[in-house]
Structure 1
Amino acid sequence: MARVADLTRHHWQGRWHPEGGYHSYDRCIPIVATTLEELGEHGPAGPAFWRFGRDHRQPLLDAIGNARRDAYLARRRQAAREDQRRREEREAAQREARRPACAGCGQKFTDARWEAIDYTRDWSTRQSHPHLCEGCQDRAVAAQAQAEADERERQEQERLRQEAEEQAAAQKAGGWLSRFRT
């Protein structure tokens, strides 16, 4: 087996990757050998198989696999997931730092409110009080409506007073004493 391994080295020998600490067997053939004695002693699921280039016997699936490479790739995937999680947390923190607060009560806007006041999307849905949260906006709109109603009422009362004054002046001017005043 050692002679066959030596003669076929160019078919099965992998390339060493020092940064990952494993051999890469891409475009290589995993050549595995055993003896009847080893199979009889350990069985087909036991450490009866020798992969060319390794110094010990292994179960068949371990012999044709690449545990060091698999561990390295798992570490890289885990590191990439951690990087992604940290990036998402950083972006979420930056987004929260940009989130506007209500000028009335100081409460941070909800996502729905923030989206509702985003003028860059649609100018036709412009909010009346973009600097206020929904509750404060409702109170401001109600106060504005009440102020407008009060102003209309005051204007109506002023109009009625002026009409009454004009009517009183007209009566005074048209009365029986008005003949003697001139």
Structure 2
Amino acid sequence: MWKLTRPDNKHDKLTRDNLLDLEDHHLVRIESVQEDQRQVWVLTKRGHGEAKQLLEPKGIRVSVLRKQEYDPDTGELLGTGYDDHAAAVTSTAAELHRAGIGHRLGFQTEIGHRLGNSYVQRADLVVRAPEAGVPVLLLEIDRRTEDAHDLVAKLRRYWEWGRLLPRDADKHTVDLARSRPDAIDHVDHEKRLWRRVYPPTGREGLVPVAFVFADTTEAKVANTVAVLEEAGRRYWAPRRHQTLHRGITAKDYGQAVPVVVTTLEQLQEHGADAAVWRRLGRKSEQTLTAALDNPDGEALFRDQEARADAEEEQRRAAELEAQRPVCKRCGQKFTDQRWEETTAHRTAWNAGDVFVCGPCHADDVARKEAAAEAARLQAAAPPEPEDDPEPDRGRGWFRRRA
């Protein structure tokens, strides 16, 4: 509570005094004291009612009332078995808030995600911190009280929830999703149920999930993460892009759940904004935003695809250029226009000698036109008068008759 409400204070006196004041007004009570002397405070029935009136009109969900129930035989307070877990959840929220990841009223606990079979998968903690580059993050806090395969089952259920459609989805989308098991992969995320609940993540894939391990050993954490990576690969691992291009190394994260892991001890020692998060499938630890980013994802794919398209275009152009005809008369390569004239059915009949280039064909056409013009002029010219073989004889006769 101290770190969550007053992260800048070096001591918890102010928080403790406020809690004591609320206790005097019967709004809160101490439920238990941990081994390290940390106290677990909960709302009383009266405090719970006032909190609902104060927070729920602002859209802030209040957790379920922790009733005071006692064992009839021993007189011990019942329902305190989750105190250590609740303390770890609150401490995780406090460390995130202290690092600037999430507003103190932007955290929610025990948020249900109902599956198609009516099973409800509850997230221990949900944080929305768009200003920190984390629009939404679901957190599972594990004190190694659960088997590693139980965590794999949780991951599977988050993956399944991310593939559900809302009840009012249009018939075309519903029919498409039912057409085959993987058809939902082709339904845009904007049409899925999870986008009705959470904002867009700003990255490829489904809603990211973080597993935070607390109060356990490094060996147990390593073993659990190894099981998550191997048995849960179908849910977190990216796929290969379906493309005919070669040399595409980018991955398709569109249907994967981004999963990051860390420990509460690392968060407390180094801070939640430090490089203490490891993304499943990667070797080293990164900051939270870097771990959630996909540098080998969609942006790289678009770049590699554009580059491959350009290279393919160059290859085709080179192959085409190698096939370009050469004029048998002058040795020049055909222009694109002349090449098309000599090969297209609609123009080849009028292209003349298809083995000569455009200029040579123009010369041929010019010679033919000149010859035709000369023939036309010759045909149109009047005939020349015939020569008189004896021009003086007629005149002599005329003179003698006169």
TM-score in terms of structure 1 length? 0.55
Q: Deviations over 1:96-131 (max 9, x none)?
A: 23322223312111112222333324578x334544
Q: Spell out the pairing of 1:1-182 with structure 2 (5 A cutoff).
A: 1=142, 3=144, 4=146, 6=148, 7-12=150-155, 13-15=232-234, 28=257, 30=259, 32-35=261-264, 38-49=266-277, 57-64=285-292, 70=296, 78=304, 81-82=307-308, 84=309, 87-122=312-347, 126-152=350-376, 160=383, 163-165=384-386, 168=388
Is this contact kept in 1: 2:261–2:280, CA < 8 A? yes
Aligned equivalents of 2:337 and 2:312: distance in 1? 24
Matched to 2:341, the amino acid is A
- What's the Cα RMSD here? 4.7
Aligned equivalents of 2:313 and 2:368: distance in 1? 42
Higher helix share: 1
Is this contact kept in 2: 1:11–1:28, CA < 8 A? no
Aligned equivalents of 1:116 and 1:53: distance in 2? 58
Higher strand share: 2
Is this contact kept in 1: 2:342–2:354, CA < 8 A? yes
Q: Deviations over 1:11-70 (max 9, x none)?
A: 3422479x99x9x895557264442x5335433321233567988643213444567xx3
CA gap 1:137/1:123 in 2 versus in 1, 3 angstroms: closer
Secondary structure of 1:58's counterpart equals coil
Aligned to 2:197: none
CA gap 1:88/1:152 in 2 versus in 1, 3 angstroms: same
CA gap 1:94/1:58 in 2 versus in 1, 3 angstroms: closer
Q: Deviations over 1:70-102 (max 9, x none)?
A: 37x958x848954x5554444323322332222
Is this contact kept in 1: 2:260–2:277, CA < 8 A? no
Aligned equivalents of 1:5 and 1:63: distance in 2? 25
Larger-Rg structure: 1
CA gap 1:27/1:150 in 2 versus in 1, 3 angstroms: closer
Aligned equivalents of 1:91 and 1:109: distance in 2? 18
Is this contact kept in 1: 2:258–2:292, CA < 8 A? no
> Gaps (5+ residues) in structure 2?
1-141, 156-231, 241-248, 397-402
Matched to 1:115, the amino acid is E
Is this contact kept in 1: 2:260–2:280, CA < 8 A? yes
CA gap 1:113/1:2 in 2 versus in 1, 3 angstroms: farther
